Structures are given as C-alpha cells and as structure tokens.
Amino acid sequence: MRNVGIGCVAIVLAIAAGLHAQAPAAAKPVTKPAARPATTSAARRAGVAARLAALASDITSGRVTVVDLTQLLSAATPIIQLPPPFANTPGFTSHEISAYNDKGPAWYWSWIEVGEHVGTHFDAPCHWVTGKDKACVDQIEAKQFIGPAAVIDVTADVAKNADFIAGRDTILAWEKKHGRVPKGAWVILRTGWGARANDAKQFLNAGADGAPHYPGFGKDSAEFLAGERDILGVGVEQVGTDAAVGATANPPFPNHSIMHGAGHFGLTQLANVDKLPESGAIVIATPLKIQRGSGSPVRVIAIVPAAR
C-alpha cells in the first residue's frame, strides 16, 4: 500500500503541475513535481527481494541444487610437503573437551589445531610474497567470496599427462564454447584429481625422484587471467593451484606469484567438481575471518540448476 500511496501522490503532483502550466505568465513560478528516487529505490529493492525469494524457493523445491565442493577435513587429509629447509604446515588434529561425560554431561565439543592451508582451503593475496601488502582473509569484502563459475574440463589432458599445465589456450578454448569468462568469476579446473583425495600417496603422486606430479595452473594462464580478465580467483582439485612442476618454474609457483600479486584468490582441494556445469553455476567460498590470516580452511558450495 505504501508504494500505491506514493504513486498517487506523484500523480496528484503531476496534475497540479499541469494546471500551473496553464496559468498566466504573471502567476507564481511552477513548482516541479518531487523527484521519486525513493519510489524507484523501493521498487528495485522489492524486485531484488522477489528474486531472492524465488531462489530460496528453488533451493527448497529442488529446482536448484546445492553442491558441496569441500573435502572432508580429518587427520588423514593430505597436506603439501615442502622440501628442506622449508617449514611445513601441521595437518588437522581434533582434541575432545567433553562428550556427554563428567567433563560436560550434556554437551560434546572439541578444540582443533590445523594449518591455514590444509584441506579444502582459501588462499588470500597476502599468502605470497608478491601480495604481502595486499589483503589477508580478514580484509576481504564478503561479496568477493561469491561469483559465477567458469569450469574448464581438462580431464582428458590430465589422463595423458599428470603434469598438465593449463595455459592461455586452455581458457580461450573454454571461451570459444561459452563466451568470455564472466566478470568476478571463479575459474575452476576440472581434472578428476578429487577422486584421489582419500589416498595421500595417490593424491600427491610422487615420482621415482620423490617429486610430486599433479596438474594445475601455470605462468601463461595466470598472466592471461590476471592481466586480461577480471576474475575473483582460480580453483583446483589438487593440493595447490599451481601444477606440481611449478616448483621449478621461473618464478617458482608462478600462479601463486602472479595471481596473489594481482590481488586474486585461490581455492584448493575442491570436491565434486564433476557435478558442476561448465558454466551457469555460482560458487560461494567463505573463509574464517582470521586476523591477518593468509588463508583458511573453507566450506565451498555451488548453486547449480538441477538436472532434469
């Protein structure tokens, strides 16, 4: 009723203005109708609210599916292993405080210890030396955790070469099918590597030389995405966003170096990427708001049109 009332007032003002326009030149100056930004703003808010309500209805009805892109976080979760003399992160450990017992008869809770970059996790720009003066997780705007997904399927390439590195041409091939990578997108590689997540040996895939072998982004793709596309960041199923061979590249781990230096983000150890369409999904990745956190374990979800 409020919108109707405002509309009626506007009509009355318009009629009044028309009558004044017919008055003699000596009459008082015409009073212009009041601007209606409030009405426009209210209508816009109502429209957005209706779309959000429709989305909520689509989720509860099953017309839209919520896909969990997060691997289970446990003591068995594989973690990256850096060679000496570099320090490594601890994995995940849970310590029980009480479990419906004398220490707490009606409740169960635990405290945990875990590295910021363990399991499915978020890499903030300050994670890398090139981004040391850029945002950590507590400084990133919440709206930057949500974006459209551009899912690039490279499973066939990875089947032939575990050290596959996505390049500019990989992204351009996706754009030939789906159009330009959307502004504010999460660019995600579908490699099939998530199927190895429960077996640390297969997941890290060390060769005879002891070096790991897994696919990922590289210098060419990072330069293209950071310099010629406006994205949030990149995501992978592997332990890091760089292909393993990036450790010996110039610069070392070029995707980390270039992406974080440009203020972009990374998502690693994603699950269920095979359940995402190549375009049309929305990804939400919200890290813990850790003070000066270089990253955080994260629960990543995607909103996807339901398969018919």
**Catalytic residue positions?**
127
The candidate with the shortest Cα–Cα distance to 112, out of 81, 138, 90, is 90
The candidate with the shortest Cα–Cα distance to 120, out of 294, 246, 285, 303, is 285
CA distance 258 to 279: 25
Strand partners, 153: 190
Residues 125, 134 contacting (CB under 8 angstroms)? yes
CA distance 124 to 135: 7
| Phi/psi at 97 (5° precision) | -95, -50
Residues 168, 176 contacting (CB under 8 angstroms)? no
**199 three-state secondary structure:** coil
